[in-house]
Amino acid sequence: MDNNTVLVLANPADPQLKKLAALPETTSIAVGDTAEAFARAAAQADVLFNWSESGPLFREVFTMCPQLHWVHSRAAGLDNLLFPEIVESPVPLTNGSGVFSPPLGEFVLGAMLYFAQDFRRLIRCQAAGVWETRDIEEITGRTVGIVGYGDIGRAIATRARGLGMHVLALRRTGPPLYSVDPLIDGFYGPATRLEMIARCDYLVVSAPLTPETRGLIGAAEFAAMQPHTVVINVGRGPVIDESALVDALSTHRIRGAALDVFDAEPLPDAHPFYSLENVLLSPHCADHTPDWLERAMQFFLEQFERYRKGETLLNVVDKRRGY
């Protein structure tokens, strides 16, 4: 597939756009952050690349393009991008799943160690000039449960197994029928999630936000947790019922939480999470390595080569399921 027209939804000043020069010379590229920027090129567009992650602009430009063959989103999460027109369209949609998984796996590992070693206490004592010894915990031999066992979940499982942890996984489809994953000690389905949650020392949410996962971890799930359980969310904020989480933390029903995603972002001023001592906050940047944007652009370029050669694209989204 040569002589392609590619529309890139982005601020033209973004430095990563320079990498688009690696596309074949026969490729026509239009870049802009308004629908007007694509008025001429939209009718011939073959590929639409949503680099800006703007849902409204994405929808407007998509409806301007009658001849699209492929749409790609820089982000892995798609909960604000699956508008009816694209869901109903036969045009394949791919996303950035997998590009950001390694640093998210490291964030989860760091969060578990943060609570096991009680780093907040160490920092507090150091700042106060207090010499206070105390026993710490190992995470070796502890159990971590992963809610949403996709690419991020596997990155977490790989690192947890490397430290000798037991790993459980919750999947929408339940236990696999014909294969065994060496990283996982046990699979659970939605109907048995309370059984899994009750076994966990650490519960990690890495699920996408869909109608089925919204509020998946709520009051009943917190009631099933052990008092020393730590909840870590690197998926999407609304997968956890935020009010139920605040209640579980403020009443010390659970030990703590490490959160990279929230219902509202930025987190509103005076939100309870800011003042709770048993919460570790990350402002939705746990995967922002110095080269995270370069990685995302490089993945698009590799995907484009597959598209141009007629090869199977990676990360094709089931638009009705939302991932």
Cis peptide leading into residue 290 (ω within 30°): no
Within a domain: residue 151?
yes
What is the model's pLDDT at position 231? 98
Q: Tell whether 202 and 235 lie within a shared domain.
A: yes
The residue type of 82 is L
What is the reported pTM?
0.93
Task: Please indicate whether residue 284 is annotated as part of the active site.
Answer: yes
Q: What is the Rg, in whole angstroms, of the alpha carbon atoms belonging to the chain?
A: 22
Going from the C-alpha of 206 to that of each of 23, 88, 146, 224, the distances in angstroms are: 33, 26, 7, 19
DSSP assignment of 87-146 equals HHS-S-EE--TTTSHHHHHHHHHHHHHHHHTTHHHHHHHHHHT----------TT-EEEE
Q: Please, are residues 111 and 258 in contact by the beta-carbon 8 Å criterion?
A: yes
Q: Tell whether 12 and 121 lie within a shared domain.
A: no
Average pLDDT, the chain: 95
pLDDT 10s digits, 158-203: 999 999 999 999 998 777 766 679 999 999 999 999 999 999 999 9
Q: Tell whether 65 and 84 lie within a shared domain.
A: yes
Within a domain: residue 322?
no
pLDDT mean over 93-104: 95
Task: Please indicate whether residue 265 is annotated as part of the active site.
Answer: yes
Going from the C-alpha of 281 to that of each of 74, 89, 130, 232, 266, the distances in angstroms are: 24, 38, 25, 10, 12
Instruction: At 119, list the tokens.
Output: 């780093």
- pLDDT level of residue 143 (50, 70, 90 thresholds): very high
Q: Tell whether 206 and 141 lie within a shared domain.
A: yes
Q: Tell whether 85 and 187 lie within a shared domain.
A: no
pLDDT mean over 197-217: 96
Dist CA 146 CA 231 (whole Å): 10
Instruction: At 310, list the tokens.
Output: 């007629």
Buried b (16+ CB within 10 A) or exposed e, 113-142: ebbbeeeeeeeeeeeeeeeeeeeeeebeeb
Active-site entry in 284, 295, 306, 308: 284
Q: Tell whether 32 and 119 lie within a shared domain.
A: no
Domain count, the chain: 2
**pLDDT above 90: residue 224:** yes
State the residue range of the domain holding 229.
Answer: 101-281
Closest CA to 248 of 219, 228, 268: 219
Q: Tell whether 108 and 251 lie within a shared domain.
A: yes
pLDDT 10s digits, 266-307: 999 999 999 999 999 999 999 999 999 999 999 999 999 999
What is the model's pLDDT at position 1? 57
Instruction: Find tokens 């709770």 and name the residue.
Output: 276
Q: What's the CA dihedral at 210, 204, 99, 83 to 10 degrees? A: 10
**pLDDT above 60: residue 72:** yes
Beta strand segments in 163-276, E: 166-170, 186-188, 202-205, 230-233, 256-259
CATH code, domain with 50 = 3.40.50.720
Active-site entry in 265, 302, 305, 311: 265
**pLDDT above 90: residue 83:** yes
Burial class (CB in 10 A: 0-12, 13-18, 19+), 198: middle
pLDDT 10s digits, 242-268: 999 999 999 999 999 999 999 999 999
pLDDT 10s digits, 50-65: 999 889 999 999 999 9
Q: Tell whether 177 and 227 lie within a shared domain.
A: yes
Within a domain: residue 51?
yes
Active-site entry in 142, 159, 236, 255: 236
Q: Tell whether 91 and 108 lie within a shared domain.
A: no
Q: Tell whether 119 and 232 lie within a shared domain.
A: yes
pLDDT 10s digits, 30-49: 999 999 999 999 999 999 99
Q: Tell whether 152 and 224 lie within a shared domain.
A: yes
Q: Please, are residues 158 and 181 in contact by the beta-carbon 8 Å criterion?
A: no
pLDDT 10s digits, 109-139: 999 999 999 999 999 999 999 999 999 999 9
